Amino acid sequence: MKSTFRQSMKWLHTWVGLVVVWILFFMFITGTAGYFYKEITRWMEPERPLISPEVSKKQMLHLSQAYLTEHASEAERWRIQLPNSRDGNLRVRWTQAAKEGKRRGKRTHKILNPTTGQEVAELRATGGGFSLYRMHYRLHYMPRLVAYWIVGFCTMLMLIAVITGVIFHKKIFSDFFTFRAKKGLIGWLDIHNVLSVVALPFHFMITYSGLIFFLTTYMVLGFNLSLTDSQQDEFHKQVFPDTLAVEQAEIAQTLAPLTDMYLQTRKYWLEDTLDNVTIKYPNDVNASVNFERLETDITYNHSDEIFFNSNGKLMTVPAREFTPSGRIEDGFISLHEGQFANSVVRWLYLLVGLIGAAMVASGGILWTTKRKPKQDKKPNGADFGYRLVEQLNIGSFVGLPIAIGVYFCANRLLPVGLENRADWEINCLFISWALLLVYPAFRPAISAWLEQLKLAAVIFTFIPVLNFLTTDKHLAITLPIGDWNYAGFDLAMIAIGMSFSFAAYKVKQRIVSQVGNKSITSAVSKASTAKLAQNKGAM
Amino acid sequence: MGVLLSLSFITMSCFCLAMEKHRKQIIMVELNACLSCFFRPLAWVLLISTFYMSSQLYGWTIGPVVFFGMLIGSLVPLILLLTYRAKAIPLVAILLPIVVYIS
């Protein structure tokens, strides 16, 4: 126990943070990418058409209904997703009735050409942006429940780190803007503090809401073990109330034209913000058609949905009845996912997500920077724990972004007909990350930082070039057309590549300032020899 | 959006100028005590105005989210400017709303 409460909090903050820093970094990076998962998926499916000239929603609904009537007349559910700022494609989905012994029926998903109403060419199998998004809470290569518990444990420790950090930070307001760059340890401390404090509301929200996501999983004693199955169902109905329970009458009836219903929604909403249409039992007399516009609120807003029956008549449907706690839960989850966010707010989410990742990374680097002078003086070299942390820092903070870059490259380079192609894309990510985690063990830390930063710069700058070489949807095409959704990905890769180049340049400058330009090679080779000797000694 | 971003930047610049150590970084000339005291209340008034404007533009649920996002979005460049180009902050604070107005 430390002498003062504040000192105890500092100790707790340091060690709680260190235990989970690399997993948290992984969660922050993949979760932040998840805010743009639709855009990433679109880039990873280059067979999809570029955003076509303005086609009216009325025409797209007409074409979609005709397509679904022809190809999915037996389905029990249709869904039409109209193009929006995030996903410029017209999508149709349908679900068949579940077969005996199965929970869900077969789901099919097609992208239609909005001008002709015909489906576009077969898409390549890819994990897309959704796999990255999914990884941030579901991890990979492990059972679902194990992943949820690991993620929950790390999130809980992050929440403790956030709270203890606020408690022991002495000058939270007076040092609010302070960043003393070029001052070594103080600079790292400042950058960690600044990144933590400027986005503190976000850090708290994202951590707390992350825990709420799987609250029934984590509250085993109070939920799973205390309540019967029927009580659990009742709980779910209260917390996640459904809109309208429709029973199939099994009397066939042709669905009225969706275009007529659409015109009614425009009168009701007074604006043309329709986003998607869901039809339950499309060829039944009891069909229900749900028109949904883009979200206008963080929590559930009843006026965002309009219902019609099979004849195209407006139905009065009571609002979902949320309990106060259910409403709060809904609000926190919506805040976490940012589903209500328009393009600009989504970019803000990306920015604060990256701030979160940088905060976590700076904490890890701060830990080693603080201990480096003492460790350097040790006659037998640095301790194993220190070397391990340093290695994991390099392998995670630079290695993980490189691995994600490899994932994007694999999307373009793996043969389109490869079996389990989507799985192999993800395997490429984890294999490359594993190699990059091991690599720093055989190199002096400063060289490993420099080399991995250079590699990251090359890979991310290479991605748009690779896209140019392997597809017909590259910057020379997407920019003149004005398909910013697609071009934005390539431009973002260039920006990330340039950021890594800048970081590599700064690290190289630091090496030069320490050992002098001429002796840089000899210094690195000496350090490599020393590292190898150290590794041999450790063995 | 642009209006909110520029308001957030000006607000945070005023908070920054209200602190003596940062004021010395940004403004070379010594300001009289009365003028120095003016920055903090001005910053608070601007902060409340930004919050109100954000809530009016995006509603009382999404508005606060946009407000916090804009504050964070303006703080990052402000802190970087303060570290590397502190004297450019007043110029940016003046030019930003003009650029937003023109665009």
**Are B84 and A335 in contact (CB < 8 Å)?**
no
**What is the rounded average pLDDT for all residues in chain A?**
89
Q: Say which residues have a Cβ less than 8 Å from residue A317's Cβ, sequence separation at least 6.
A: A243, A244, A305, A307
Give the DSSP letter of residue A284. B
Q: Does B43 touch chain A (CB under 8 A)?
A: no
Average pLDDT over residues A10-21: 93
- pLDDT at position A539: 44
A39 contacts A129 by C-beta, under 8 angstroms: yes
Average pLDDT over residues A323-351: 89
pLDDT in tens, A381-424: 889 999 999 999 999 999 999 999 999 999 999 999 999 999 99
Average pLDDT over residues B6-27: 92
> What is d(CA A364, CA A14) in angstroms, rounded to the nearest whole number?
9
Q: Say which residues have a Cβ less than 8 Å from residue A120's Cβ, sequence separation at least 6.
A: A47, A48, A49, A89, A111, A112, A113
Average pLDDT over residues B83-91: 93
Q: Say which residues have a Cβ less than 8 Å from residue A522's Cβ, sequence separation at least 6.
A: none
Give A309's strand partners. Answer: A288
Q: Is the pLDDT confidence value at A520 over 80?
A: no
**Are B72 and A202 in contact (CB < 8 Å)?**
yes
Q: Does B1 touch chain A (CB under 8 A)?
A: yes
Answering whether pTM is above 0.95, one says: no
Comparing A32-46, A216-230, A351-365, which segment has the lowest mean pLDDT? A216-230
Closest CA to A295 of A220, A351, A346, A235: A346
A158 to each of A13, A77, A328, A336, A356, how far by Cα in Å?
9, 41, 22, 15, 11
Average pLDDT over residues B96-102: 91
A334 contacts A298 by C-beta, under 8 angstroms: yes
> What is d(CA A160, CA A17) in angstroms, rounded to the nearest whole number?
9
Q: Does B103 touch chain A (CB under 8 A)?
A: no
Terminal Cα distance for chain B, rounded = 12
Give A305's strand partners. Answer: A292
- pLDDT at position A526: 57
pLDDT in tens, A457-494: 999 999 999 999 999 999 999 999 888 888 999 999 99
Give A289's strand partners. Answer: A279, A308
Band of the pLDDT at A525, cuts 50, 70, 90?
low
**Sheet with A288-293: strands ordered across:** A107-112, A90-95, A77-81, A274-280, A288-293, A305-309, A314-315
> What is d(CA A51, CA A482) in angstroms, rounded to the nearest whole number?
9
**What are the chain B neighbours of A349 within 8 Å (beta carbons)?**
69
pLDDT in tens, A298-308: 888 888 889 99
Looking at per-residue pLDDT, the higher value among B3 and A237 belongs to B3
Average pLDDT over residues A343-364: 94
Phi/psi for A80 (5° steps) reads -115, 120
CB atoms within 10 A of CB A356: 25
pLDDT in tens, B56-83: 999 888 999 999 999 999 999 999 999 9
Q: Which two tokens stand for residue A83?
A: 């193009």
Between residues 119 and 178 of chain A, which touch chain B (CB distance below 8 Å)? 174, 176-177
ipTM comes to: 0.93
Count CA atoms closer than 13 A to A492's CA, side-chain side. Answer: 16
Comparing A223-227, A237-241, A390-394, which segment has the lowest mean pLDDT? A237-241
Q: Does B47 touch chain A (CB under 8 A)?
A: no
CB atoms within 10 A of CB A66: 12
Q: Is the pLDDT confidence value at A86 over 70?
A: yes
